[in-house]
Amino acid sequence: MGRIRSSLLAVVLAAAVSVPGVTKPASAEVSTPSSVAQIVAAMGAGWNLGNALEANANGYPSETAWGNPVITQALIDDVRAAGFTSIRIPVSYLRHIGPGPNYTINSGWLNRVQQVVDYAHSRGLHVIINMHGDGYKSIPYAWLICDAADQSAIKAKYRKAWQQIATRFRGYDHRLVFESMNENFDGQYGRPTQPCYSNINAYNQIFVDTVRRTGGNNSSRWLLVPGWNTNIDYTAGNYGFVIPTDSHRSRSIPSSEKRIMISVHYYSPWDFDGEESGTITQWGSAATDPSRRSTWGQEDYLESQLKLMHDTFVVRGYPVVVGEYGSVDKTSFDASNNRYRADFAYAVTATAKKYGAATFIWDNGVNGRYGFGLFDRHTRSVTQQEIVDDIRYGAGS
């Protein structure tokens, strides 16, 4: 998520937990969903393991740096038991990438990433892994910066990093999806700028070409790419987004089929979803207090945004992934807030399903005021059962 809470201070660097640094053999399940409907149905209800593997202390990724506990198999099992069938795992690399020209990723960190992926993948879940905090100007030692001067060095580093990640996971089946980056943009909330957008397109193309060339199951794997800041209008509108070509994919894939998905996020209206204020605490047509409801971003806006993605990409065979959405806890200001948070979650998942998109709720592990948490990761308990239930209902799971 591009709006990392400033109150979460990086305090310690957790020791990496090693696992064998080898590619996992391909599973017996080899059939890959080939259409929008198939992959969206297979993903079902999605959840984000946020503020964990993308957290960092002084530029060194550490899963406990922002206050969350060490990730365990038990946590992932709890998420699965709650009804989620897909998990997005944001990952930062930052100073765990060594110097050029090889840009070697720290083996202990890559081992730990693989171990956490295995927690979910071994349980039959769909998993998305990305390169998350490396593109934020607000993160120390971030380097995937679209308006930085030395783009040749950035692109070389990006290519080498994804070559290593893709090679590590090339034996995994289609339930593992790679996402090229997160909310990459120039840091200014406004219309896209050039050459920054062209560089984002170039990163996506490097990502697709590099992953495909590592072979194995990567030659047919679903790959996920975002446009400008994962913004729907700036991705689907005429602002410069270019879908990468996929000329290095397996020749066994029919030319009519796609293996590229489009990533967007949905936090609208922000004054309800993320603004740290007690003013706007209700959402949707069921809101009882007009003064607590935003003047925009209601059901009709949600409908228009996801229809735009459908009409621009889904009809052409490119599935859409709403990789993040959600709303913060404002029950300390309005006791009815969770009702509207659940309404919002249901509306996003149900509307996305209607328009051929998969959804992943953002969970940063923070419970209480302004938290996105659905689970208490320390006690392993569900904290927002109504929201979880409405996500499952909306996703049809």
pLDDT in tens, 42-97: 999 999 999 999 999 999 999 999 999 999 999 999 999 999 999 999 999 999 99
Asked whether residue 3 is domain-assigned, the answer is no
Asked whether residue 284 is domain-assigned, the answer is yes
Asked whether residue 25 is domain-assigned, the answer is no
Asked whether residue 127 is domain-assigned, the answer is yes
pLDDT confidence of residue 348: 98
DSSP string, 258-310: --EEEEEEE--SHHHHT-SSSS--B-STT-S-GGGB-SS-SHHHHHHHHHHHH
pLDDT confidence of residue 14: 33
Q: What percent of the chain has pLDDT over 70?
A: 91
Whether residue 101 is preceded by a cis peptide bond, meaning omega within 30 degrees of 0, is yes
Average pLDDT for 276-293: 97
Asked whether residue 26 is domain-assigned, the answer is no
Active site residue 324: yes
- pTM greater than the 0.85 cutoff: yes
pLDDT confidence of residue 19: 38
pLDDT confidence of residue 322: 98
Q: What percent of the chain has pLDDT over 90?
A: 88
32, 58, 225, 358, 393 from 262: Cα distances, Å? 18, 31, 5, 10, 24
For the stretch 340-357, pLDDT in tens is 999 999 999 999 999 999
Q: Is the pLDDT of residue 4 over 60?
A: no
Asked whether residue 236 is domain-assigned, the answer is yes
Asked whether residue 28 is domain-assigned, the answer is no
For the stretch 207-230, pLDDT in tens is 999 999 999 999 999 999 999 999
Cα torsion at 325, 328, 334, 340 (round to 10°)?
Answer: 10
pLDDT confidence of residue 17: 34
Q: Which of 54, 179, 183, 275 is catalytic?
A: 183
More reliable by pLDDT, 254 or 130: 130
CA distance 375 to 82: 10
Domains contained in the chain, number: 1
Q: What is the CATH number of the domain that holds 60?
A: 3.20.20.80
Give me the domain span that covers residue 317: 36-395
Asked whether residue 251 is domain-assigned, the answer is yes
Active site residue 303: no
pLDDT confidence of residue 37: 85
What's the gap between Cα 247 and its chain centre? Answer: 25
For the stretch 65-75, pLDDT in tens is 999 999 999 99
pLDDT bucket at 1, cuts 50 / 70 / 90: low
pLDDT bucket at 290, cuts 50 / 70 / 90: very high
pLDDT confidence of residue 197: 98
